[in-house]
Amino acid sequence: LGVAYLTPQCQVAEVGPGDRPAVGAWWDGREVAADAEALLAGYLTSPRAARVPLVVLGEPGSGKSALARVLAGRLPGSDFLPVLVQLRDVAAESMIQEQVEQAIYRGPGEHASWADLAEAAGGALPVVILDGFDEMVQAGAVNRYDYLEQVCDFQLRQAQAGHPVAVVVTSRIVVADQTRFPAGTLALRLLPFTDGQVSRWLEIWAQHNAARLAQRGLRPLPAPTALAHRELAEQPLLLLMLALFDAAGNALQAAEAPMGRAELYERLLTEFARREISKTARYRALPAARQRDLAEREVHRLAVVALAMFTRARQSATDAELTADLSLLYPEDALAPDPDAALTPAERAAGRFFFIHRSEARPGGEQARSYEFLHATFGEFLLARLTLTALNDLADRDQAARRAVTSTGPPDDGFLHAVLSFSCLAVRAPVISFLRELVARLPAARRAQVTALLPGLITRSLTASPSRSLTSYEPARHSVPRRHAVYSANLVILLVLAAGSAAASDFTTGDPAREWTQYGYLWRSALTRAEWDGLTSTVRARATRTAHSTDIILALEDGSPVSPADSIITTPEASGLTPFDVHLSPCKGISHDTAIPAATLAGVAFRNLAFTPGWQAATLLLPAIPAIRALGGDTRQPGQADDTLILPAALLAHLDYQRAESSDERFRLYATCLENARDSRFLEQIFLRLYHDCARFPADAICSLLTLVPDPPPSTTFLRLLNAMWRQRGSQSAHPYILACVEDLHRTDPDLPLTPLDQDLRERITG
């Protein structure tokens, strides 16, 4: 393989106590260096290098360790003395100086104190590169979140002793987010590959591999084909994986249309597993069909690895956790002879796949490991795949039980329950996307079987099942209500994905509206905030009333406008009401309906209300509909000042309900509204009220109010207000301001009709 090191692009920011890299906000507007090499050269030749560390941050596979090795190899020996410390190989609990000395011993194999090394450096600046801080914390399970402060203390002591030292620390962002950063620390974040870097990398790949590929009638991977899968191509290691996959048969190039993500991931994983199987001497001579079966076992084992991370609500799992899960959920491993018997189940499951990152550390002198996927979507795809595999297996057993004469009761859903009762699938949007694609690829007959199976599973999901298998699988401790809530919510998501749309009456045994409400309140109370938001962002619930009952129709969230009638049913009836009903007499010409953008605060509130209805909340929301209709669904908006938030509808209500206040008090209220108004619809409503109150204030006073609005939007209402000011007796002193406002509006929007203006004012503008 021919590859080259491409210097990554990076962003840089100065970090202090309280800053959190994972938030991402503190990178906004920062200097973007041309490349990491230029930034490192500037840093290592500055006085800052001897005072605070440089922290190199990046995602798994982004090139942090490669950068550390290249930096150590390229620093000029006359000016710098690089010391590369792989933190996975030293004692996790040791102090900084001890870790450096341990690394020196593991390299040349000679004991040397740091003081001896600093003396031997002469005039060269020692550069200690601490690679893999995240591995030390994650795999070693040690609390070293003051580590950077200890680095600063180490640098301070060395500087006071006359031996200044520069320190570079590499870490994943997710771990650095929980670390205290000393004031003045410089953080460098490695950016994903740009399109140009992807193209350059593939050019080098082609230079070294085109001849060998041509011997097999194949072509190197072109950049446009790789960039069709940008989320993988922009990470160096994953780009290598794409190139290797395509090199097997030009599968990416041969596709008539770009592969769906699920299809690509399926082929990537299965083809890689097959290659690993065929390279093993023990399996090389087996028939192709048998090799495929073994490869499927490898992928299934890897899916259990993904499940171990998901059920623990983490992106990683330790060797011990994976070994425990695999021994319970994949017991065939313990029975089948394996040439790698010396390895733990976790090592056998994850060791063959280079897109799994293995973190190592030595807490207490013992080797500890943890695993994570180089890209989170690998684990998310495998989780979706495992979910559908479990559902398909259960459907097969259900069909067999229906045909069997001696069958008793429903089939055991133990494995599906183990997969789906610890964390809600909707907490990760890619899982839903993968499931949607995988379900769409099911044959029509199988999809119908799955759709028929799920309502019964949902009906039984809230009751105890003593005969259920795998009840000892408990990777995380959760209450019984939470397990029931997560399992039932996941089954409802799967039903909607399989059926396209469903009704609560499909899986309820009594009143659908009341039983659906019980599900909704259970989910709201037991799911985390992220899980609840994911659920309501995945499934759209709409209440429908017929002459006999109320049902709830469930479909995938499509982002269409929300109607209040989806969750609030107004009825003149006073009996037989459900939680969705509000007893109201009809008012001629009054509508309680409007189209609300789904992603706005009001849209989210009404969508949530369809899961947890209640007439008290509904009666508070119904009066807000006229304001939502006039102002839009963003019921809370930013004000003009930084970090201010306002409720426009509440401010307008104050204007409407306090008309009897004195002119001075009302003037102050208008000033408060205009000082905080940024949205054009909000301004329109203020101008409308000010137009009707125009006679209460002198034109000059209204001019002072309007100066609070930097850029009044062009609107007919604003023109009417300016015209009313122009007509006021004694308003001549305000005429220059009014003329300037009208001219600005006419210049901004030449098509704005000037008919609301008096003729003399209109002629002043048009000439």
Percentage, residues of the chain above pLDDT 70: 91
Is the pLDDT confidence value at 408 over 70? no
Is the pLDDT confidence value at 33 over 50? no
pLDDT at 188: 85
pLDDT at 671: 95
Residue 556 in contact with residue 538, Cβ under 8 Å? yes
Helix axes 716-727, 735-748, angle to 10 degrees: 160
Is the pLDDT confidence value at 515 over 70? yes
pLDDT at 174: 74
For residues 213, 218, 219 and 220, what is the CA-based torsion angle, rounded to 10 degrees?
-50
pLDDT at 264: 87
End-to-end CA distance of the chain: 76
- In this structure, the chain runs to a length of 767
Higher pLDDT, 494 or 756: 494
pLDDT at 545: 85
Across 689-708, average pLDDT: 94
Residue 100 in contact with residue 83, Cβ under 8 Å? yes
Is the pLDDT confidence value at 411 over 90? no
Please choose, from the candidates 482, 480, 554, 481, the residue with its C-alpha nearest in 3D space to the C-alpha of residue 512.
Answer: 554
Higher pLDDT, 530 or 403: 530
710 φ/ψ angles, rounded to the nearest 5 degrees = -60, -45
114-139 pLDDT, tens digit per residue, is: 888 888 878 899 999 999 888 787 66
pLDDT at 537: 95
Tokens found for residue 235? 């990470």
173-196 pLDDT, tens digit per residue, is: 877 777 888 888 888 888 888 899
435-466 pLDDT, tens digit per residue, is: 999 999 999 999 999 999 999 999 999 998 88
pLDDT at 7: 67
For residues 297, 299, 301 and 307, what is the CA-based torsion angle, rounded to 10 degrees?
-150
Across 623-647, average pLDDT: 89
Across 654-668, average pLDDT: 93
Across 497-516, average pLDDT: 95
- Determine the 3-state secondary structure of 657 from DSSP: helix
pLDDT at 29: 40
Please choose, from the candidates 316, 233, 306, 240, the residue with its C-alpha nearest in 3D space to the C-alpha of residue 272.
Answer: 240
Tokens found for residue 340? 């790698």
352-373 pLDDT, tens digit per residue, is: 676 677 777 666 666 677 888 8
Is the pLDDT confidence value at 25 over 70? no
Across 555-584, average pLDDT: 92
DSSP state of 751: T
Is the pLDDT confidence value at 513 over 60? yes
Helices (H), 75-121: 96-106, 114-120
Higher pLDDT, 467 or 446: 446
